[in-house]
Amino acid sequence: MDARLTAAAPVVTYRRDHQAPAWLVPEVALDFALDPTLTRVRTRLSVERNGTHDLPLRLDGAGQVPLSVTVDGAPAEGWTIEDEQLVVPLTGDRHVIETEVEVAPDRNTQLMGLYASGGILCTQCEAEGFRRITYFPDRPDVLATYRVRMSADRRRFPVLLANGDPVAQGENADGTHWAEWHDPYPKPSYLFALVAGDLAVNRDTFTTRSGREVALGIWVRAADLPKTAHALDALKLSMAWDERVYGREYDLDVFNIVAVDDFNFGAMENKGLNIFNSRYILADPDTATDYDYDAIAAVVAHEYFHNWSGNRVTCRDWFQLSLKEGFTVYRDQSFSADQGSAAVKRIEDVRGLRAAQFPEDAGPLAHPVRPESYIEISNFYTATIYNKGAELIRMMATMLGDAAFRAGADLYFDRHDGTAATCEDFVRCMEEASGVDLAQFRLWYSQAGTPRVSASVEHEPGSGRALLHLAQKVPDTPGQSGKAPQVLPLRVRLFGSATGAPLGVERLVVLRDAAESIAFEDVTERPVVSLNRGFSAPVIIESDRTAADLAFLARHDDDPFARYEAMQQLMLDTLVAATVEGEADHRAVVEAVADTLDDPALDRAFVAEAVLLPSENFIGDQLATVDPEAVFTAREALRRALARALDQRWRAACDLGERVPYTYTPAAKGARRLRNVALHYLQAGGAADAPALAWAQFEAADNMTDRQGALTALASGHSDERDAALAAFYARYADNPLVLDKWFQTQALASRDDTPALVAELARHPDFSLANPNRARALIGAFAVNQRAFHVAGGAGYRWLADQLLALDPLNPQTSARLLPPLGRWRRFDPARAALMRAELERIVATPGISKDLFEQASKSLE
Ligand code: PHE
Ligand code: ZN
């Protein structure tokens, strides 16, 4: 069978087919003779028949062949290989199986299993990477304790790490050394990890509330050691936070983190040995932005929190992925909210949800938070599983209240500790602990699509009664139509349009039916409704609020998220009108922005968020058919109007923090954020001195936030300063891969007519490489979300993306598949663009030998 046919008839895995494992593996002992060119892995499994059956033992494998197989010490008889599985017939109920394989870390470009990154040997096993290391039932409901022994050349690999606690180490006669680690907690194979390398460590300790002293270590190349302090601080804060907020303590004597440069995702929660993409560990003010610092703390917290939500309680099967990911994202979001401004954090999280998850839910790759089927599980590490999944947990917390939610979490951790659980188990614990009926709420797990809520207010001045009319619709998505109404917890408050005063307290309206009317009494003046405050439900609201109402809320709402939201809606309405009609009245937006800038009670980080225009993509999402040029033109016109009308205010904001040395505090971060937003507006206004202002900031900056902010502001224009800044930035950071990523990304995101051509040229730059996922994402991923550039008439952007994906796929199918979704949005564009996009998807699907990862994404995108 040729590769094309293999790809065309992929195996689909269904949730409904899940069955308990036929064999359990209580204990694993692994012995690695590590070498980058050829590593030998010897594995001893104690296996136990699970229930009464006569099925053989089936061990998953991928890419290797068994050099030997023994059962209870003797060569095994009658074993076969079926679809890369090692099938061993067994007669008794308990046996010891030993296998031996060889793998080649140096040639592992897909970064799954055992691979080499910059001279460090490391592993990545989630979701199905362990089978690339050895034969094993590679599914999350087979929990084993692991004993790991490894030996390696002492000079090249002086540090040898694995899960759990170190047990012993020593020297061999041949110049190699060895170490042994033991993890007493039963775990699924996807949490296995080992690392060997020439690493330096930043050490600290954390004493848990019950008095256990935990040795913490962050392991990096020696040169990067000064950049590990922030991550280490975040780790300690996370450990204390999980004790305080969830009552969860760390459970081993050692917690290690290793940073590597080549990594498919952000980081991985392997038990006691987290492995990180170095971009989520390394930071100093000269090379990392405030955004990077925040992301580092969030990802360190996320992986740490997985120790309970993921590791102690894991997932029964991969359809339950959101059980650990949605909950853990919710936990890391709550942690970050507690570190600084909760309102700004919520604004950022909602912006992220709207940028990534809403389009996914509205497109061909839409899937429920608990999917029903997949071809390649790696394709389901999505914004829906992670971010919408987190919103589901948040809604339960909102409906249950803090105390009952905590009781539900306690029950969940206690009842399911040491087991592989399901989303249903989690919901049932919440239900039992609170007494709240969550039967209808479960639809959030099974129905895809973003619910749309229409809202209008009817006021009867005579009776003092106001009616809030609400209606919901859950849209059809691929394979799902005619959906039932969901449970939507909407935080609501009314404000008097004349006085600006709140009319009564905030209410939690839980909408369950397709349509409901909610009565409010004692409404003495015409009310303006503040709805879905804090973004309490992840829905799209369509309301009849006028520009005046929105401007009013942007000024008076006491919920900071709702205040931001009113401003965004006002901007969005203006921009949609301008896109469709070619022009719009900018006055309401200009006034609201001026008021926000002038309000001394608001913190600067909030102001910076509130005065930012919606992205081109988000404006496009509101339109029946996206015209990227029209969107860009409308947005530029509003930007210019704001820039010119408020020129003095932007200049004042630009001066913020001038000559104040860098500190990483919420106030200093807010000042930097606002000054960078202001600098961007000034560029848009076209003032003669705008490039010089940005250049001055670029030159004087003592931190990356200001330096990159200035570079980004310049990058979209045409000035000598732009060229000089790009050249200076490159020269200064040529040997820092994480900062060079910013250099590529900034140019890929720039709004210039020639961006498509510049990006194509950058792909031929000597520093560009498809082999490094960060670099590939910095250029390809950024370009594909640059709406105007990617969708340039004629389809050059689509062709370029497809070419890159096809070149990347043989190296790293996970990363190529994850970069495909922008091509699948063809239904949102005019027929000419849609045809060009489809043609590229068809070309991808028709390419012989593509991975099932890319095949699944491309073929589903065509449906
Ligand atoms: N489980 C990781 C996380 O969310 C993500 C991940 C998935 C990393 C697959 C690598 C591979 O923390
Ligand atoms: Zn996670």
Euclidean distance between CA atoms 239 and 204, whole angstroms: 13
CA distances (Å), origin 561, targets 275, 347, 532, 536, 619: 34, 6, 9, 10, 19
Identify the band that residue 5 occupies on the pLDDT scale cut at 50, 70 and 90.
very low
303 in contact with ligand 1, CB cutoff 6 A:
yes
Euclidean distance between CA atoms 594 and 497, whole angstroms: 20
pLDDT tens for residues 140-169?
Answer: 999 999 999 999 999 999 999 999 999 999
Which of 132, 269, 305 has most ligand 1 atoms within 8 Å of its beta carbon, as the pocket-test mutant? Answer: 269
Q: What's at 72, amino acid-wise?
A: D
604 in contact with ligand 1, CB cutoff 6 A:
no
User: Is the C-alpha dihedral spanning 628, 632, 638, 639 positive or negative?
Assistant: positive
Euclidean distance between CA atoms 750 and 759, whole angstroms: 10
Is 721 assigned a catalytic role? no
Identify the band that residue 10 occupies on the pLDDT scale cut at 50, 70 and 90.
confident
Q: Which atom of ligand 1 is nearest to the CA of 299?
A: 12
Chain mean pLDDT for the chain: 97
Residues 6+ apart with CB under 8 A from 63: 84, 103, 113, 132
Residues 6+ apart with CB under 8 A from 481: none
pTM comes to: 0.98
Contact 737, 774 (CB under 8 A): yes
Longest Cα separation, the chain: 95
Structure tokens at 609: 């968020």
Euclidean distance between CA atoms 840 and 856, whole angstroms: 15
3-state secondary structure 425-449: HHHHHHHHHHCCCCCHHHHHHHCCC
Burial of 273 (0-12, 13-18, 19+ CB in 10 A): buried
pLDDT tens for residues 547-574?
Answer: 999 999 999 999 999 999 999 999 999 9
Find, among 231, 263, 226, 258, the residue nearest to 159 by Cα: 258
Find, among 737, 743, 797, the residue nearest to 771 by Cα: 737
pLDDT of residue 656: 80
302 in contact with ligand 1, CB cutoff 6 A:
yes
Residues 6+ apart with CB under 8 A from 184: 145, 164, 165, 252
Q: What is the DSSP letter of 289?
A: -
- Protein residue closest via CA to atom 7 of ligand 1: 126
256 in contact with ligand 1, CB cutoff 6 A:
no
pLDDT tens for residues 681-712?
Answer: 999 999 999 999 999 999 999 999 999 999 99
Q: Which ligand is nearest to the CA of 381?
A: 1
DSSP per-residue string spanning 491-509 = EEEEEETTT--EEEEEEEE
- Ligand 2 center to 448 CA (angstroms): 21
pLDDT tens for residues 742-762?
Answer: 999 999 999 999 999 999 999
Contact 43, 28 (CB under 8 A): yes
Euclidean distance between CA atoms 657 and 79, whole angstroms: 70
- Ligand 2 center to 481 CA (angstroms): 30
- Protein residue closest via CA to atom 12 of ligand 1: 268
pLDDT of residue 2: 39
Q: What's at 262, amino acid-wise?
A: D
pLDDT of 826 > 70? The answer is yes
Burial of 138 (0-12, 13-18, 19+ CB in 10 A): buried
Q: What is the DSSP letter of 148?
A: E
Structure tokens at 807: 């070149």
pLDDT tens for residues 408-459?
Answer: 999 999 999 999 999 999 999 999 999 999 999 999 999 999 999 999 999 9
Structure tokens at 410: 């306690």
267 in contact with ligand 1, CB cutoff 6 A:
yes
Contact 722, 683 (CB under 8 A): no
- Ligand 1 center to 265 CA (angstroms): 6
Structure tokens at 723: 């060229």
Q: What is the DSSP letter of 52?
A: S
441 in contact with ligand 1, CB cutoff 6 A:
no
pLDDT tens for residues 638-664?
Answer: 999 999 999 999 999 998 867 789 999
Q: Which ligand is nearest to the CA of 264?
A: 1
ipTM (interface pTM) = 0.98
In angstroms, how far is the first alpha carbon of the chain from the final one? 25
The catalytic position among 126, 128, 303, 360 is 303
Structure tokens at 462: 């005579």
Structure tokens at 384: 């829906």
Which of 138, 187, 265, 323 has most ligand 1 atoms within 8 Å of its beta carbon, as the pocket-test mutant? Answer: 265
Burial of 478 (0-12, 13-18, 19+ CB in 10 A): middle
Q: Which atom of ligand 1 is nearest to the CA of 386?
A: 4
